[in-house]
């Protein structure tokens, strides 16, 4: 119970994976043309794959429309109610 109140020591794990990864606190990392070409060739040899994880805007629009638009059952009920309102119930 006391452990939930007191702050616990954090774990600082600076994990790096890959041949070109570096950590810098101050400064910037720049590559000359030759270094960039060598790194590009190394990526091809190692089979590194760059994945674009950005979702296109049209996907967001479809997701929002699917969330806001009525379900097929609601559309069917609306059409039936419209015909009932226009033609009325036959007794």
In a domain, 23, yes or no: no
| pLDDT bucket at 3, cuts 50 / 70 / 90 | low
Between 80 and 26, residue with greater pLDDT? 80
> Domain of 78?
57-87
61 falls within a domain: yes
What are the pLDDT digits (tens) for 21-68? 665 555 555 556 676 676 666 656 666 677 778 889 999 999 999 999
Q: Would 63 be classed as within a structural domain?
A: yes
DSSP secondary structure string, the chain? -HHHHSPPPP-------SSS----SSS-----HHHHHHHHHHHHHHT------PPPHHHHHHHHHHHHSPPHHHHHHHHHHHHHHHH----
pLDDT confidence of residue 59: 93
Query: Within a domain: residue 16?
Result: no
Residue 3 lies in a domain: no
Residue 91 has pLDDT above 60, yes or no: no
Please check the confidence at residue 77 and state whether its pLDDT lies above 80: yes
**Domain-embedded: residue 37:** no
Provide the number of structural domains found in the chain. 1
């Amino acid at each position: 119970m006391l452990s939930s109140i007191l702050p616990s020591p954090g774990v600082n794990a600076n994990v790096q994976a890959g041949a070109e990864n570096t950590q810098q606190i101050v400064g910037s990392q720049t590559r000359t043309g030759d270094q960039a070409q060598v790194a590009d060739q190394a990526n091809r040899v190692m089979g590194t794959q760059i994945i674009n994880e950005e979702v296109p805007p049209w996907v967001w629009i479809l997701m929002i429309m699917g969330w806001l638009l009525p379900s097929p059952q609601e559309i069917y009920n609306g059409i039936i109610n419209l015909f009932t309102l226009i033609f009325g119930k036959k007794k």
